[in-house]
Amino acid sequence: MVEVVLSSPRGFCAGVVRAIDVVEECLQRFGPPVYVKHQIVHNPYVVAELEQKGAITVEEVDEVPDGSLVVFSAHGSPPEDFEKAAERNLRVIDAVCPLVTRVHNEAKKYHREGKKVLLVGHHGHQEVRGTMGQAPMTLINDSAPLSEQDVSADMDWPADSEIAVITQTTLSVGDTATAIGAIQERFPGAVVRNDICYATTNRQDAVTQMAGLVDVVLVIGAQNSSNCNRLREVAEANGTPAYLINGPDEINPDWLVGCQRAGITSGASTPEVLVEAVIDALDPEKVTFLEGAEEDITFTLPRELR
Ligand code: SF4
């Protein structure tokens, strides 16, 4: 490889740093095992590192032994998970990202105001599960036109209905704008919040800038990471072949045939050590660092750990 071009910003966001710190802090203060409901963040390397230190990842609250300490993941959890934990006498520390909590609060507020709440997001994603538990709402898939929604029958409401729109935090900026435009066309008075977070927006802007400069884009991150998948899609939408890989072992040499420049970015849950490993594997003659938005956001730990 002649040259590697590195996108900026990339990698960990403030919510991911905080969630990992929560588990680390619990392990230090209370000792292992510390149960974690759902992957603390969507990256197998991060999860494995914490498990080596004594974290135990489970998918359901029911899997946590009675009376244990459990950390809830950064993606946010529905109220039923807190209720189940209380019934089992579990000690819960919630590592939900504060920007996701903000979406939960908005959903509850709009519901209290009597509005019908629409959530633009991906069916089945952990964040969507947590948000949908906060209040009655209808899910709009961000990548399908409103007319093709399988939930459209549920939205057979008059055009002047009181509608509030919220979004998942890690969506494609472009697809979400399209979905919101379609909703506004159907419900012109809809109150719209775009909850795509700063980290998602900045990483997508950066990969858009980079895609035009390189022959191929490698997105480092996990297949189940929403923001990593969106980065790959954004690069492809800009006309550059893009691949999502966990690390150097997954590089397919065929992707690089004839390429002079490979662009690299990583999702908000990807540790920088994996980016470095991919650069080492490519062994470029030159590494170019692009400049992008400065990020100085940090979040304090949950009250129980301060
Ligand atoms: S991607 Fe955004 S919403 Fe998700 S944890 Fe990071 S800062 Fe929070």
Amino acid 143: pLDDT: 66
- In a mutational test of the pocket of ligand 1, which residue from 22, 41, 42, 100 has the highest number of ligand atoms less than 8 Å from its CB? 100
pLDDT band at 152 (very low <50, low <70, confident <90, very high): low
Residue with more model confidence, 155 or 49: 49
Q: Please give the biggest Cα pair distance in the chain.
A: 61
Q: What is the Å distance from ligand 1's center to 170 Cα?
A: 7
Catalytic site residue from 3, 25, 51, 127: 127
Residue minimizing CA distance to atom 2 of ligand 1:
197
Q: Is the CB of 200 under 6 A from ligand 1?
A: yes
Q: What is the Å distance from ligand 1's center to 254 Cα?
A: 33
Amino acid 149: pLDDT: 56
127 is catalytic: yes
Q: Which two tokens stand for residue 45?
A: 């390397």
Q: Which two tokens stand for residue 161?
A: 């209905």
Cβ burial, residue 114 (10 Å; 0-12/13-18/19+): exposed
pTM score, two decimals? Answer: 0.96
- Mean pLDDT calculated for residue range 60-75: 98
The one-letter amino acid code at 38 reads: H
| Those residues with Cβ within 8 angstroms of residue 297's Cβ, 6 or more apart along the chain or in another chain | 13, 14, 198
Res. 272: pLDDT tops 70? yes
Condensed to tens digits (0 to 9), the pLDDT of residues 1-14 reads: 789 999 999 999 99
Condensed to tens digits (0 to 9), the pLDDT of residues 50-67 reads: 999 999 999 999 999 999
- In a mutational test of the pocket of ligand 1, which residue from 200, 231, 299 has the highest number of ligand atoms less than 8 Å from its CB? 200
The one-letter amino acid code at 305 reads: L
